[in-house]
Amino acid sequence: MTPRKDLLDIGSLTPEEIQFILDSAGPAKEVFHRPVKQAPRLRGKTVLLLFYEPSTRTSTSFEVAAKRLSADVINFPVATSSVQKGETVLDTVETLEAMKVDYIVVRHQRSGIPDLIARNTRASVINAGDGAHAHPTQALLDAFTLSEVWQGQWTGKRVLVVGDLLHSRVARSTSAALHALGVKVGILGPGSLVPDYAPGHLERFRSWEEAWDWNPDVVYLLRIQKERQSEEFFPSLKEYHRVYGLTEERLRDVESRGTWLMHPGPINRGVEMVDRASQYERSLINRQVENGVATRMAVLYWLRPLGAALERGGGEP
């Protein structure tokens, strides 16, 4: 597969490219089981983690993935940096460019920042989540997790996405990836949260009853983005749980139907789902975390910064 420079969203990937990442993620997992849990693909390369929004699981996942490929990883401490003195994103990027960083993993509260950075640096830029826009590596790891479950058989499969769709970059990216692979995606959320501009190929449900009639194979619970909502879209978290959350009763439905359960994490217990759901034997939530490292390894394996060949003094780029 021809390498790209950046991974900014799912929409820019062809189905073949998505499949390439999924096909490479499985073998990347194998590196975890060796005596030497490392391979030299990114030896001598620098991966910079530029997280303007807090995250432990995603930034750690990228850090582990990069280190398994022998990269040097630098965690740019935004909270204590000159960014707090008002340094703009592009000024920060210019500084990083001068330090010859090869890969930049960016998470930012405003949509479009990773794209802006990508257009102003030779480094490969990976979007680790920008505003409510996109989270492509989450989508890829979700797709990879399901490809393991379904052995790559996508036709006829149905995934129900439940939650705060308006504010969810995960919903956007994951539904786009699954749709590209031929999976039917349905969405369920409070009326005010289901955007009118949702793509036409999504099935929309107003209640769990309607959604169950559709017979989903997977229930994908989204996080309630407490930190990203500026207005109250529903009266309380308890109310959300009662109407849209995975209650005890709905968990029993899931169990009796054998539906797979997914969640991007971290879980708001008692809101998106009852505590007991994380013990459900068909919960893929922990698998998603493990697959996150493998998927991010596959992405880092594939991308190529600009001028890589020229720097090495190699032949034609």
Query: Which residues of this protein are in contact with another protein, per CB under 8 A?
Result: 1-3, 20, 23-24, 26-31, 34-36, 38-41, 69, 298, 301-302, 304, 308-309, 311-312, 314-317
Minimum separation from the CB atom of position 122 to another protein (A): 13
Alpha-carbon gap, residue 129 to 108, rounded angstroms: 7
Of 41 and 67, which CB lies nearer to another protein in the complex structure? 41
Of 155, 122, 124, the residue nearest 137 (C-alpha): 124
Phi and psi, residue 167, nearest 5°? -100, 5
Under a CB-based contact definition with an 8 Å cutoff, are residues 145 and 262 in contact? yes
Minimum separation from the CB atom of position 226 to another protein (A): 38
In the chain, % helix, strand, coil (3-state, to 5) comes to 45, 15, 40
Of 32 and 214, which CB lies nearer to another protein in the complex structure? 32
The DSSP secondary structure of 131-172, one letter per residue, reads: TTTB-HHHHHHHHHHHHHHHTT--TT-EEEEES-GGG-HHHH
Minimum separation from the CB atom of position 297 to another protein (A): 9
Tokens standing for 148? Answer: 């393991």
- Residues 6+ away with beta carbon under 8 Å from 20: 1, 302
Minimum separation from the CB atom of position 39 to another protein (A): 4
Minimum separation from the CB atom of position 138 to another protein (A): 20
Of 29 and 204, which CB lies nearer to another protein in the complex structure? 29
Minimum separation from the CB atom of position 44 to another protein (A): 11
Of 132 and 298, which CB lies nearer to another protein in the complex structure? 298
Of 145 and 175, which CB lies nearer to another protein in the complex structure? 145
Strand order in the sheet with 203-205: 203-205, 184-188, 158-162, 218-221, 260-262
- Residues 6+ away with beta carbon under 8 Å from 302: 1, 3, 4, 20, 21, 24
Phi and psi, residue 101, nearest 5°? -75, 145
Minimum separation from the CB atom of position 62 to another protein (A): 18
- Residues 6+ away with beta carbon under 8 Å from 184: 156, 157, 158, 159, 203
Alpha-carbon gap, residue 284 to 199, rounded angstroms: 26
Of 254 and 294, which CB lies nearer to another protein in the complex structure? 294
Of 31 and 183, which CB lies nearer to another protein in the complex structure? 31
